[in-house]
């Protein structure tokens, strides 16, 4: 199938529908991590989880024509992946990233 062909578009839509619950859950992890960070330092488990889901979202969102989502997820991945983790000053930006990801994901469906 050629890019942009109806068959490819339909196949991507079916894949999107299949993976949407998992993608939504990953965005929820980022929302929760940003909220937790606003309340205080993250545990290593929270930080590792947020880093992992940001990495996975960065890898998959572009496949579904959500290049902006990939960019945002990469930014979150970099912040959560810092050796010393994100600080409380990063919380507003991470919350904004999660919120924008939520909008992008819900508008794609």
What is 6-108's CATH topology?
1.20.120
pTM: 0.91
Q: How far is CA 98 from the centre of its chain?
A: 7
Counting Cα atoms < 13 Å in the Cβ hemisphere of 57 gives 36
Domain ranges of the chain: 6-108
Fill in the DSSP letter of residue 41: P
Cβ–Cβ under 8 Å, residues 98 and 31 = yes
The pLDDT tens digits for 34-47 are 999 999 999 999 99
Confidence of residue 62 (pLDDT cuts 50, 70, 90): very high
pLDDT value of position 101: 98
Residue carrying the six token digits 């989880």: 49
């Amino acid at each position: 199938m050629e890019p942009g062909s109806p068959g490819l578009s339909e196949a991507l839509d079916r894949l999107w529908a299949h993976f949407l619950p998992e993608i939504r859950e990953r965005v929820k992890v980022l929302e929760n991590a940003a909220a937790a960070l606003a309340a205080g330092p993250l545990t290593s488990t929270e930080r590792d989880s947020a880093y992992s889901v940001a990495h996975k979202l960065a890898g998959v969102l572009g496949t579904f024509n959500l290049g902006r989502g990939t960019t945002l997820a990469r930014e979150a991945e970099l912040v959560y992946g810092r050796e010393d983790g994100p600080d409380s000053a990063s919380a507003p930006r991470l919350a904004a990233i999660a919120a924008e990801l939520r909008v992008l994901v819900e508008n794609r469906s």
